[in-house]
Amino acid sequence: MSNFINPASWPLILAVFIFVILTPKEIVDGRTISNVLNKAIIKTIKVDKDEIIDCYDIYKQLSLNHPSFHNHTIQMRPSIYPKNIKLDNMGTLQLTQTWHKYGTCPHGTIPIRRNIGKYYHSTLSHKHHRSKPSYYKKPNTLQPNGIRDGHEYAVIKVRGNFLGAQAKINLWNPFVETPEGLSVSQIWVVAGDHDDLNSIEAGWEVHPPRYGDYQTRFFILWTTDTYKNYCINLECPGFVQTSSDVSLGCNFTEMSTFNGNQKDATFSIYKDQNSGNWWIQIQGIPVGYYPSSLFTQLAKTAVDVEFGGEIYDEKYKERHTTTQMGNGHFPSEGVFGISSFFNHVQVIDENNKAKDPEDVETYVSNRNCYDLKVDEKHTNGYGFYYGGPGYNNNCP
């Protein structure tokens, strides 16, 4: 077949071109969007001058506008829940997100955080630069100790065949040293390796280049090509959001304090066996799902589930960064209230049963900078303490 455009179609191409340049556009989320998409916003909730939530018509969300989602019927709720999953013990937060105090999104809409353009612009363009190391990586057990690339980990890892994972994660606001830094506490649900590592991730992060501030925010991520391309929250098509209550990229109402009140939230990732969709839940609330069709390896089960902390900072080139992991304290300094924790850690097996992880491996990239210690007492289900301050006498 010829690749040349039939001259008879030129008037049509010209008409489309004129339509595209003449259609009124507006800047929302720092992107140019057409008024058509703008009409998708049913209501706007103003938290403060830097934080605005738009309630989008659920059927007009970005994912559904993507060609690969043609004829996609939204699955409004999971058809099946994992057995034995701890839904009763949902952490200490009643109101999970700050914007709830200022309004609610109507039924049939989803809350989307608007980016006000407070980004560090230079950094934002870096982020898309392929030659830079990716901000996100899976803990790499092959990374030899002592060789720094700016990423550090303190995680546990479980191998097998899984339909998901869940954990209650302590909420902290770790110090991040540079505007390019990152401190994450999260769950990874992974299959594949080399060039087609598939990963679905959920947890909290402090990531100034993305949010323009140093707050602790709820985030999700997916990749199918070992992070060459990855997508956070609703920044590109993929995740289909169903919840009108939970907004991705938003902060929490309360944080833990050292030696004081501890706050935590339960994060879950699991595959609905009937639809194949990978659901994300926070505090027992289904937020939405990644359709199975997005994935290659994760179209089936996950083979690797990891829990813990990661930091990334460029400061490592001069000396180790002071960017904190967890709450910046080592597990050796103390337990609950002193060191950051994960507890009620569960994996969901092939039979859709939630259970404590078995044959757990630990991976810590540099124990002198950030560490991890399993809570052998199992006081709150399977759990561990993790984190650290980064730069110190033993971590130069």
Ligand X SMILES: *[C@@H]1O[C@H](CO)[C@@H](O)[C@H](O)[C@H]1NC(C)=O
Q: Specify whether the CB–CB gap between 390 and 178 falls below 8 A.
A: no
In the chain, the N- to C-terminal Cα span, in Å, equals 63
Active-site residue, selected from the candidate residues 201, 205, 314, 358? 201
The yes or no reply on residue 48 touching ligand X (CB under 6 A) is: yes
Residue 310 known to be catalytic:
yes
Name the residue nearer to ligand X (CB basis): 253 or 297.
253
Q: Which amino acid, 370? A: Y
Q: Report which secondary-structure segment, H or E, holds 35.
A: helix 35-38
Q: If binding is defined by CB under 6 A, does position 145 make contact with ligand X?
A: no
- CB of 146 closer than 8 Å to CB of 161: no
Return the residue of 80, 124, 236, 255 that touches ligand X, per CB under 6 A.
Answer: 255
How many angstroms from the chain centroid is the CA of residue 222? Answer: 8
| Residue 35 or 261 with smaller CB distance to ligand X | 261
CB of 43 to ligand X, least distance (A): 18
Contact residue for ligand X among 49, 70, 128, 377 (CB under 6 A) = 70
Report in angstroms how near the CB of residue 396 gets to ligand X at its nearest. Answer: 32
| Interface residue with ligand X, options 225, 254, 333, 356 (CB under 6 A) | 254
Q: How far is the CB of 97 from ligand X (least distance, A)?
A: 8
d(CA 132, CA 139): 18
Q: Any contact of residue 66 with ligand X (CB under 6 A)?
A: no
Gap between the Cα atoms of 249 and 299, Å rounded = 26
Catalytic residue at 306?
A: no
CA dihedral 185, 280, 120, 57 (to 10 degrees): -160
**Cβ 238 to ligand X shortest distance, Å:** 17
| Residue 116 is a binding residue for ligand X (CB under 6 A) | no
Question: Coil, strand, or helix at residue 18?
Answer: helix
Binding of residue 235 to ligand X (CB under 6 A) = no
Say if CB 321 and CB 310 are below 8 A apart: no
Report the interface residues with ligand X, using CB under 6 A: 47-48, 50-51, 70-71, 98, 215, 251-252, 254-255
